[in-house]
Amino acid sequence: GENVEQHPSTLSVQEGDSAVIKCTYSDSASNYFPWYKQELGKGPQLIIDIRSNVGEKKDQRIAVTLNKTAKHFSLHITETQPEDSAVYFCAAPISGGGADGLTFGKGTHLIIQP
Amino acid sequence: DADVTQTPRNRITKTGKRIMLECSQTKGHDRMYWYRQDPGLGLRLIYYSFDVKDINKGEISDGYSVSRQAQAKFSLSLESAIPNQTALYFCATGTPGGRELFFGEGSRLTVL
C-alpha cells in the first residue's frame, strides 16, 4: 500500500513569513494529494488538493506543488497569520483511486510566532 | 448541527471493558471511515464501509470491530479495551470516490 512521509514535524515561523511543508509518497500510481488542517479540538478539514495531471494549484495564500517524477508534493503558505497555527496533514489514496480511504502523513505542527 | 457527530466526546474506562463509539452523519454519504490519531503517528485507518452491507478492514483493525447499522450510522467497538488503545478516534464520511473526507470532532478514549 501507499506510504506517505511528512516533514518537518514542527515548524515555527514569524507572522508574515512563508511556511513550507513537504511530503513524499511511495506509490507511483497515486493520483490525488490532499492537505488537511486540524485546529485544536477539531477534526481535520480539507484545505486544498491536487491531482496528478497538474503541477501546481493555488488558493489565495496557500498553494500545493507536485513533482510526480520525484514523488513529492509540498504545501506553501504565504504571509502567515495567527489563524494558520494548526496541525497540517498531507495524504494520498491508500490504493487505486482512493475509494477505500486516504493514508496520512504524521502531521506538521505549524506555529506562527507574533 | 455538525454534519458528522461522534458520541461520546470523552470516555475513560478500565482495561477489559467493552466500549462503543458511535458516529452519525447527515451528509448523505455512503462511505464512512474510522481513524485513530496518536501523537507523532498521524491518522491511521481502522475500518471503512461503503454501504450497510459492506465492511472492510483498514491498516490497524486488530482489537476493533464495527457495525454499519444504517447509511447514516457507523459504530466502532473495542471488545476488551487495553491501555494502548488510548487515543483520539475520528469518524469520517467520504464523497463518491473517497476523494474528500469530512471528519467528526473526535472521541477521546482513555483506557486505564
pLDDT in tens, B24-58: 999 999 999 999 999 889 999 999 999 998 999 99
Beta bridge mates, B44: B36
Our CA-based measurement puts residue A74 at a distance from the nearest CA of chain B, in whole angstroms, of 17
Q: Judge whether residue B1 has pLDDT over 80.
A: no
Q: Give the residue from A108, A101, A100, A103 showing the smallest Cα distance to A92.
A: A103
Nearest CA in chain A to B32: A101
The pLDDT score that the predictor gives to residue B40 is 87
Average pLDDT over residues B75-98: 93
Residue reference for cell 506543488:
A65
Cβ distance of B103 and A45 shorter than 8 Å: yes
Beta bridge mates, B2: none
Average pLDDT over residues A11-20: 98
Cβ distance of B40 and A99 shorter than 8 Å: no
Cβ distance of B43 and A89 shorter than 8 Å: yes
CA dihedral A36, A62, A87, A23 (to 10 degrees): 70
Q: Judge whether residue A99 has pLDDT over 70.
A: no
Average pLDDT over residues A93-111: 83
3-state secondary structure of B52: coil
Cβ distance of A44 and B41 shorter than 8 Å: no
The pLDDT score that the predictor gives to residue A96 is 56
Label residue A28 by pLDDT band (50, 70, 90). Answer: confident
Helix (H) / strand (E) containing A35: strand A32-38
